Structures are given as C-alpha cells and as structure tokens.
C-alpha cells in the first residue's frame, strides 16, 4: 500500500485515538451501569419481570399505623396506594420521616414484597415530595 | 412611585440602551471605525449602573418587606433577621437572575475600562452585550423580580430555613462572580477569532480574565461545600449532587483553559485548543445555570419549577454554542508549527494534564446529564451514586498528580539532560512519608489510601523542591500556592475518606454509649426561644483516650414556614473534627436520634481550597502588574 509518511503517522494517531477513546467510553459506561440506582414505585416493582440484584430506591407514602420497632430494626410499609411493600431498616430515622408522609428508601429487594433498606433519604422540606412519588400519586389520582 | 417600579423601569431602560448599544457597535464594525470609544463606554457604563440600581432596589424591597412584590412575598418574612432579608434578594430564582445579568454587565464594564486594543474591545463588548440582552429578556419576561400582587399580602411566606445561614449570604455571589465571569473570556475569544487577533497578545490579556473568575469560583465551591458539611448534618462535604457538579464542571474546564492559555502565551501554540476551551468553559457555566434554574433535578436545590424557564435557557445554550462554534470553525485561529518536539517539555505535560481534566469533566458531565436524558427519553428515574465518580476518577487522578508534579520542573524547550531525574529524589521521600503515615498513624491499611498518600505527597514534595530552588519566586508564587493546595487537598480528602468514623444511636438524657473507642454521654437538654425559631440543645460529652470534648448540637423549629432543622456542633483540634448532629423522631418521642462523626483532616480540606484560590488571586494581580 502506498501511503505517504505523514499519512501513515496520521493513521497511527487516529487508530491510537480511537482505541483509547473506546477504552475510556467502555470504562465509563461499565461503571455507570454498575452504579446506577433505579427508582421504583411499589406498583412498578410488582410489574418487574425479576427481582433486581442491584441497589434500588423505593419511594411512596409510609402507610399509617405500619411503623413498628423490633430491637434496633424498624419495619414499615411503603405504598403508592396500588401496591404495598414491607421495608426493614436498621438505623436512625431522619427528622422528617413520619407515617402518612412521603419517603424514599435505598437498599436491596429481597423479593417483590420485602425491601431491606440501608438508607432513608433525608429531605429537607416537610412539604417536599420527590418528583417520582408525586408522579406515582398523581397517576393514581387521575385513574 | 414605589421602589419596585423604579427597579423595573431601570431594567426596561437597560434593555433599550442595550439594543441601542448593539446597533451602534454594529455600525462601527461596518465602517471599521474603532477610534473614540467615549460614547460606547458611556452607554456601557450606564447599563451597568442601571442594573446596579435595579439590584439595589430589589434589596431595598426585601429590607422594607414590600410584600406587594411577588419575589419578596414568596421568600421573605418580617421576623427574619436583616442579614437574611438582604440575602433573600439573591436566594431566590428572580433575584439570582438579576445578579447574573449584573455580573455579566460588571465584567463588560470592567473590561471596557481596561487597556486593550480598540478593535478587540469593540467586538468583545459587542458579544458581551448580546449575552446581556439574551439574559435581560429572560429576566424580564420569564422571571421578573418586580412582579406585583394586588391586594398586597400582609405577611411573606419566609425563606427556607436551611438557606438562613451566614455562609449562604456570600456563597452565591462568589459562585456567580466566578461562573458568570467566564462570559468575558468567552466574548473575548470570539472577538479574537473574528478579528484574527487571536495571538500571544490576546493570551496575555486573557490571563487576567480567566484567573479572576476562576479564583472566585474556587472560593464559591469551597464555601458551598463547607455549608453542606456543617448544615446538612450528615458529616459529608461533597455528595456529587448535580448542583455541586454544575459548579465543578466550569471549574474543571476553566482550569484546563488557564493552563492551555499559559502554553499559548509562552510557546505560541495551542491556539485552537485555547479558543475552544474559552467557549466551552462558558457553555459549562450555562449548562450549570440550566441545571440549577430549570428545576430538572430532583435534588434539595431544585427550587425553581417552571418549564418555560428551562426551555428558554436550553434554547439559549444551544443557540450560543451553535453560533460560537460556527465562528470557531470559520475563523479557526492560526495553526501552530511543531518544531523541536520532545516529550519531556513543560507544554507537553500541561497538554497531557489538560486531557486528564477534560476526561474528569466528561465523567462528571455524563454522570450528571445521563439520568436527566434517560428520564426524558425513557421515563426511567435513576440516580448515579458517588461510587461511580470515585472509582472512575481515582486511578486517573493518581497519574494526573504525577504529571502535575513534574510538569512545572521541566523546561519549555527541548532539554536532553533534565528528563525526570527528580524521580530519584521525590519517590523515596514520598514512599517513606506515606509509609510512616499509614503504618504508624493510621490503623487502617488500604492499598488505594496508600497510593493516594504516595502520589499526593509526591506532588507536595515536588512543589516544595520547586519552591526552594525557584529563581523567579515572585513570578511563580501563585502556581506554587495553588499546586501545593491541590496536593494537600487530595491528601486530606483521602485520609478523611478512609479514616472517618460514624456512630448512630437513639439516646435519652443520662444514657451512655461505648463503641469504636469512643464514650458518648448524653448529659442534658436546654431550650432557647428566638424571634423566628425555637431551639433545643443537647449536651454531649465525647471521650476518647482520656481526651474529652463537649458538644452541643441542636434542633431548630422555625415558625415561618414551620420546619425543623438540625444544627450541628463541630469542634476541631486542627487535625480532627468532632461532629455531632441530633434529630427528633416522631416514632420514638422519648428519645433523641444521635449521630456522631469523627472526621480527620477536615480543616485541612478547607485550608487547601483557600490555598488554591489564593494562588489564583495572587497570579491574577501579579499578571496585571507585568505590563
């Protein structure tokens, strides 16, 4: 093949660029996939085909009268008025966590009815509702 | 005539003057008349003064609690302390947009009164006034701070309590001065491209206009982070929250820019790259504005919630990016010639670190924007956790530190002898020091922490070495400060991340908790009543190895609007912070939820940020004095 020297150099440079760019993109993409936390409303969990192995977030209302304490473990129900999921949480309840109010918990699903939370996400405004929860509730109302 | 209508009038006069300014600049450019700028300067100065008047009027409305004004009504209250009435003026969407336009104009004002080639000056003011016009229209038509309500309400709705903090009074002005300040270098770069004056003289002038906002943005980010640390009560200071990322992205771009501009100045090359970065930095600022101001984020900061605003800002970004890139492509600055190439040259190392910075920037950009796009396209809501950022950035950061240590010690020109002979000095010192730290002082042994210590100490040693053998100290002092600060910052961040401790418990008065080498004693409670809140203090005694620290965290109940906040109590002994926060739980009314954090090297993180910023400030005015 007849390439001039500079063309060969440019080709080499281009290939090198392509390789390093694809490695970096692959690296970012891989990491992104591993560390993406999906948000679900209880109803969405019911509709999932399997139980996600990754960390997920679950948001909805804390059902009135469902909060119980057993040793250091709290157990309560998160609902979007369509489906309910039992949540187990081992830690401190934040200021604004209360029955009848919205909450978002982060952790793993043991099965489709039972959630083991590692964190309760603290929101700073009493009236603040995560957009996901607001949407889930709005959809419920409009139906 | 009310104060509000004066402010409103000032804005409208501004927009008229601004349109007039753009027209008169256009005719001048057509006639190639670049002499006698008195009239242009006069109009430009008047616009700035009118905006200042408008801003001051808004502050006045907040101070006298003029609730006929919607912005005041929604964000203020008569019982609020004066300081927070004033800061309420820029603590909300409308007010902060006034500040935005004011700073755009401030930079135009400062620039027009500086010594620059007339042709460049005219074009720069031209581009800057287009930016001002775009944002004035946005301000007046979608976020007018002087909108009135009739009848006038008797009382305001109040300012969110977590925003009632002395730091948040100064945090937004610093941040805005920084990232809106990058507009000037953007306009100046376009002016340079259009006039074919993108040369080393351009570089020399632009140094000041990059460093000034960069230093301010550094301080702004530091203040925001410090606020998050002591106010949010979770012991952290950086959450990779999209709003934090929004300010970090322009910072990373600007850091790359300020370095590539040095190469442009010294070696007469990298023109395209510097021009592109100038454009890109401001685009990142605009993106940040979009993220924060449009309410697309589901984060604690999302207080403006109006789709029109978001769509308008997004269109602005696309428009500005498109036109500036068109200018860039048509008027590509002169090509630099590569002569005398050698890998071990300072400019090469700067360029390599530029690539790294752009890589860091893309990682942050992807992590911030990907969830938004995914939600817009697929309706899936996701969030990207800190683990994503930490695992990707960390390994590259180490290599970055290595290049950063050697770059400044290399010559600008090819030099056969120097190479990296200093490795022989730096590596043993950093190895020994970090081994001592990790094996003697820290009980936690982790390979990543070890590597982080090695590389950050490596950088610190190289800066000290550079400092001692520096022949032109006053010329390079800024760099030495900033680089030293960066090394210290990484060092402190990693020690902090790997040896912090956390204790959580539910306690009653008189309870004692013993765990992880700490004894926490809950001694008592007292209450205080203030104008706009009630405060309950808990008294805690923390002991560790015979050392005792008294901490008094509290819970505040604000009455306007009714809201609970936790106020932390932090005691620091230069090395370690003892950090305490409490909160109530509706479920267990007899107990208080207690969080205790042991946070080493926190003070050093803040100190490092100050060092970095100080270096920038020093170099800003140093650079000014050179000519």
Tokens of B154: 């008797």
| pLDDT number for residue A132 | 54
CA distance B78 to B85: 8
pTM, two decimal places: 0.90
Of the given ranges (B16-20, B452-456, B509-513, B531-535), which has the lowest mean pLDDT?
B531-535
Q: Per-residue pLDDT for B256 more than 80?
A: yes
pLDDT band at A92 (very low <50, low <70, confident <90, very high): confident
Summarised one tens digit per residue, pLDDT across range A124-143 is: 444 445 555 566 555 555 54
Of B383, B586, B595, the CB nearest to A37: B383
CA distance B316 to B286: 8
Tell me if A95 and B555 make a contact (CB, 8 A cut-off).
Answer: yes
Residue B526 belongs to what H/E stretch? strand B518-529
CA distance B429 to B369: 42
Summarised one tens digit per residue, pLDDT across range B193-245 is: 999 888 888 999 999 999 999 999 999 999 999 988 988 777 889 989 888 99
How far CA B379 is from CA of A40, A48, B416, B555, B573, in Å, comes to 11, 15, 58, 38, 49
Tell me which of B75, B162, B242, B298 to substitute to probe the interface with A (most A C-beta atoms closer than 10 Å): B298
Summarised one tens digit per residue, pLDDT across range B494-525 is: 999 998 988 888 888 888 888 888 999 999 88
CA distance B394 to A126: 37
Give ∠ CA B467-B471-B477 in degrees, rounded to 5: 45
| pLDDT number for residue A2 | 55
Residues 6+ apart with CB under 8 A from B616: B211, B214, B215, B218, B478, B482
Tell me if A96 and B564 make a contact (CB, 8 A cut-off).
Answer: yes
Buried b (16+ CB within 10 A) or exposed e, B123-149: bbbbbbbbbbbbbbebbbebbbbbeee
CA nearest A41 in B: which residue? Answer: B381
Residue B543 belongs to what H/E stretch? strand B533-544
Distance from CA of B296 to the nearest CA of A (A): 10
pLDDT band at B440 (very low <50, low <70, confident <90, very high): confident
Of A37, A95, A123, the CB nearest to B385: A37
> Taking the domains of chain B in order of start, what are their residue ranges?
404-499+604-612, 501-601
pLDDT band at B188 (very low <50, low <70, confident <90, very high): very high
| pLDDT number for residue A3 | 61
Of A32, A74, A99, the CB nearest to B366: A32
Q: Per-residue pLDDT for A99 more than 70?
A: yes
Tell me if A32 and B367 make a contact (CB, 8 A cut-off).
Answer: yes
Q: Look at strands A73-79 and A68-70 and give their pairing.
A: antiparallel
Summarised one tens digit per residue, pLDDT across range B113-172 is: 998 888 999 999 999 999 999 999 999 988 888 888 877 887 877 767 767 788 888 999
Distance from CA of B123 to the nearest CA of A (A): 36
Burial class (CB in 10 A: 0-12, 13-18, 19+), B273: buried
ipTM (interface predicted TM): 0.74
Is the C-alpha dihedral spanning B91, B92, B98, B101 positive or negative? positive
Q: Is B234 on the interface with A (CB under 8 A)?
A: yes
| pLDDT number for residue B90 | 87
Tokens of A122: 């603290």
| pLDDT number for residue B1 | 61
| pLDDT number for residue B380 | 74
- Report the Cα–Cα distance between both ends of chain A, in Å, rounded: 68
CA distance A141 to A135: 10
| pLDDT number for residue B536 | 87
Q: What's the distance, CA A65 to chain centroid? A: 26
Q: Is B584 on the interface with A (CB under 8 A)?
A: yes
Tell me if B384 and A123 make a contact (CB, 8 A cut-off).
Answer: no
Summarised one tens digit per residue, pLDDT across range B464-474 is: 999 998 888 88
| pLDDT number for residue B311 | 82
Distance from CA of A88 to the nearest CA of B (A): 15
Q: Per-residue pLDDT for B301 more than 50?
A: no
Tell me if A99 and B586 make a contact (CB, 8 A cut-off).
Answer: yes
Cis peptide leading into residue B561 (ω within 30°): yes
Tell me if A35 and B391 make a contact (CB, 8 A cut-off).
Answer: yes
Tell me if A69 and B384 make a contact (CB, 8 A cut-off).
Answer: no
| Interfacial B residues in 134-193 facing A (CB < 8 Å) | 160, 162
């Amino acid at each position: 093949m007849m390439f001039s020297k500079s063309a060969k150099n440019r080709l080499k440079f281009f290939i090198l660029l392509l390789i390093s760019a694809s490695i970096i993109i692959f690296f970012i993409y891989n990491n992104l996939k591993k560390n993406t936390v999906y948000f679900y409303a209880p109803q969405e969990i019911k509709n999932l085909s399997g139980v996600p192995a990754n960390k997920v977030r679950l948001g909805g209302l804390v059902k009135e009268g469902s909060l119980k304490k057993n040793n250091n473990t709290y157990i309560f129900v998160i609902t979007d008025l369509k489906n309910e999921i039992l949540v187990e949480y081992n830690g401190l309840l934040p200021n604004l966590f209360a029955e009848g109010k919205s909450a978002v918990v982060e952790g793993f699903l043991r099965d489709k009815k039972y959630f083991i939370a590692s964190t309760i996400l603290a929101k700073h405004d009493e009236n603040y509702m995560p957009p996901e929860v607001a949407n889930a509730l709005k959809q419920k109302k409009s139906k | 005539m009310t104060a509000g209508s004066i402010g409103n009038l000032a804005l409208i006069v501004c927009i008229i003057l601004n349109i007039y300014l753009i027209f008169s600049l256009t005719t001048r450019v057509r006639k190639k008349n670049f002499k006698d700028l008195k009239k242009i300067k006069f109009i430009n100065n008047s616009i700035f003064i009118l905006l200042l008047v408008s801003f001051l009027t808004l502050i006045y409305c907040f101070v006298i609690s003029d609730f006929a004004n919607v912005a005041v009504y929604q964000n203020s209250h008569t019982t609020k302390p004066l300081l927070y009435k004033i800061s309420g003026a820029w603590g909300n969407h409308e007010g902060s947009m006034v500040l935005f336009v004011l700073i755009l104009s401030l930079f135009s004002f400062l620039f027009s009164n500086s010594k620059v080639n007339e042709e460049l000056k005219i074009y720069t003011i031209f581009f800057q006034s287009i930016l001002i016009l775009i944002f004035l229209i946005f301000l007046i038509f979608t976020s007018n701070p002087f909108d009135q309500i009739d009848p006038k309400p008797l009382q305001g709705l109040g300012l969110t309590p977590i925003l009632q903090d002395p730091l948040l009074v100064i945090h937004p002005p610093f941040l805005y001065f920084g990232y809106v300040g990058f507009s000037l270098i953007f306009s100046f770069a376009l002016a340079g491209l259009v006039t074919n004056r993108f040369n080393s003289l351009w570089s020399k002038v632009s140094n000041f206009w990059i460093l000034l906002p960069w230093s301010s943005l550094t301080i702004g980010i530091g203040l925001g982070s410090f606020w998050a640390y002591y106010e949010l009560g979770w012991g952290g200071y950086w959450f990779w929250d999209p709003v934090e990322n929004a300010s970090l992205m322009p910072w990373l771009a600007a850091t790359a820019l300020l370095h590539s501009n040095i190469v442009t100045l010294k070696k007469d090359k990298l023109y395209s790259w510097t021009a592109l970065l100038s454009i890109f930095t401001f685009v990142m600022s605009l993106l940040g504005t979009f993220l924060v101001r449009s309410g697309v984020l589901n984060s604690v900061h999302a207080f403006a919630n109006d789709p029109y605003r978001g769509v308008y800002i997004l269109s602005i970004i696309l428009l500005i990016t498109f036109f500036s890139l068109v200018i860039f492509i048509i008027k590509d600055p002169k090509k630099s010639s590569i002569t005398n190439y050698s890998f071990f040259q300072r400019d090469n190392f700067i360029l390599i670190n530029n690539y790294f910075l752009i890589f860091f920037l893309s990682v942050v950009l992807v992590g911030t924007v990907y969830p938004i796009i995914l939600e817009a396209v697929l309706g899936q809501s996701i969030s990207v956790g800190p683990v994503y950022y930490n695992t990707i950035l960390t390994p590259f950061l180490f290599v970055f530190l290595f290049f950063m240590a050697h770059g400044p010690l290399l010559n600008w020109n090819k030099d056969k002898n120097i190479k990296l002979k200093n490795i022989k000095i730096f590596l043993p010192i950093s190895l020994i020091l970090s081994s001592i730290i990790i094996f003697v002082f820290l009980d936690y042994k982790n390979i990543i922490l070890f590597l982080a210590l090695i590389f950050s100490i490596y950088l610190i040693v190289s800066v000290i070495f550079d400092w001692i053998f520096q022949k032109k100290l006053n010329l390079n002092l800024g760099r030495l400060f900033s680089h030293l600060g960066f090394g210290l910052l990484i060092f402190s961040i990693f020690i902090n991340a790997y040896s912090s401790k956390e204790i959580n418990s539910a306690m009653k008065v008189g309870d004692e908790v013993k765990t992880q080498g700490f004894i926490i004693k809950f001694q008592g409670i007292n209450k205080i009543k203030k104008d706009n809140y009630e405060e309950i203090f808990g008294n805690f005694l923390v002991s560790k190895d015979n050392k005792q620290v008294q901490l008094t965290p509290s819970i505040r109940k604000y009455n306007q609007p009714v809201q609970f906040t936790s106020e932390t109590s932090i005691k620091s002994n230069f090395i370690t912070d003892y950090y305490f926060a409490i909160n109530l739980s509706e479920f267990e009314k007899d107990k208080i939820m207690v969080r205790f954090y042991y946070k080493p090297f926190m003070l050093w993180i803040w100190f490092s940020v100050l060092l970095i910023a100080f270096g920038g400030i020093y170099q800003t005015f140093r650079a000014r004095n050179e000519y």
